[in-house]
Structure formats: C-alpha cells, structure tokens
Amino acid sequence: MRDLATMRFLDDASNVLFVGPPGVGKTMLATALARAAVDGGNRVYFTTAAELAAKCHKAALEGRWRTCMNFFAGPKLLVIDELGYLPLPEDGASALFQVINQRYLKSSTILTTNVGIADWAGAFGDATVAAAMLDRLLHRATVVGIDGPSYRLRGHQKQSDLIRQGVNARVS
C-alpha cells in the first residue's frame, strides 16, 4: 500500500485490483488512491461496474458509443467499484472489456471486486471475455487480496458475542 500511495502506478499506466469479501475496505482504499491522484492534479473518474455497463448500454442505444468510449478512456485514473456484486448483462461484460482494452497501456484502472480472479469466467458468463480482460488488467498490475470480517458487521458481531455470553450491554 505504501508503494501504491506514491502514485507511481499512474506514471506506469499500471492497474490495481482490490479483491476480497464485502466490508473489508476495498472501496475505501480505492477512494483514498483516487483522492491522492486528484490531489496530484490528475483527472479521475469513479463509477461502479453496474453504472459503467448501464452508461455504455444507453450510449449504444442512442448512437453515442464512440463518445462513451472516449469518455471512459479520458481520465488518468478510472476506478470501477463493485465488480461482481451485481450480475452484468452480456453486453455489460463486453462494454467493460472494451473500456479496459481502450485504457490498456495508456492509463490506470483500479477495480474492486468480491470475485476471485479464478472465478471471473463464471462471473461474466463468458470465459473468453474474462480471460481477455484479465490479460490486459494483470499485465501491469498490483493485486491486493484483502481478507477478514466485514467492518460494517463488526459492531453487530460484538453485540451477538455479548448476548451469547449473557452480558446485557449495548455496543455501538
């Protein structure tokens, strides 16, 4: 993380993948790096995978595909959050691949996902698209695997533990 915080990955047009279960801080880390990139004077765009797919789909229907691709190719850093949380339609996976392909070796992308790299073929429903996307993403990438309990559920877990121990206390 210290090396990523230097923002050198932007100069190298490298990618960052944060992989782990919900609630472990993937989005927070991606946002912190995006903020540091903005503070360094770089153009940054943050979106979810579902939003990206929806914008691309709408652009295709309206005849604005090239404009949409140029938009996503523009920022020095593109953050795509929550890949794998919602199923992408077939054209969504294709659009995501095309965005990744446009940015390949030119600018950096940060992806957050709860889907392990080995399971991308199933998540996208197309092994060829998943392999091609991973090929481009991982060519120059730092993959950060994060494991552990959900930060958001930590207070709930403490409360449950106290109840099981017979302690009547409220945890915030």
Report pLDDT for 72.
98
Instruction: Tell me the per-residue pLDDT of 3-45, one tens digit each, with 9 for 90 and over.
Output: 999 999 999 999 999 999 999 999 999 999 999 999 999 999 9
> In this predicted structure, what is the pLDDT of residue 43?
98
**pLDDT score for 172:** 52
- Can you give the pLDDT at residue 44? 98
pLDDT at residue number 117: 92
Tell me the Ramachandran region of residue 82: left when phi exceeds 0, alpha when psi lies from -120 to 50, beta otherwise: left
Q: Which domains does the chain have, with CATH numbers?
A: 2-164 (3.40.50.300)
Query: How confident is the model at residue 123, as a pLDDT?
Result: 82
Does pTM surpass 0.85? Answer: yes
Which residue carries 């960052």 as its tokens? 16
Report, as ranges of residue numbers, the positions in the chain whose pLDDT lies below 70. 152-162, 164, 167-172
- Distance in angstroms (rounded) separating the CA atoms of residues 149 and 83: 19
On the 0-12 / 13-18 / 19+ scale of CB atoms within 10 A, 130 is buried
d(CA 132, CA 45): 23
On the 0-12 / 13-18 / 19+ scale of CB atoms within 10 A, 161 is exposed
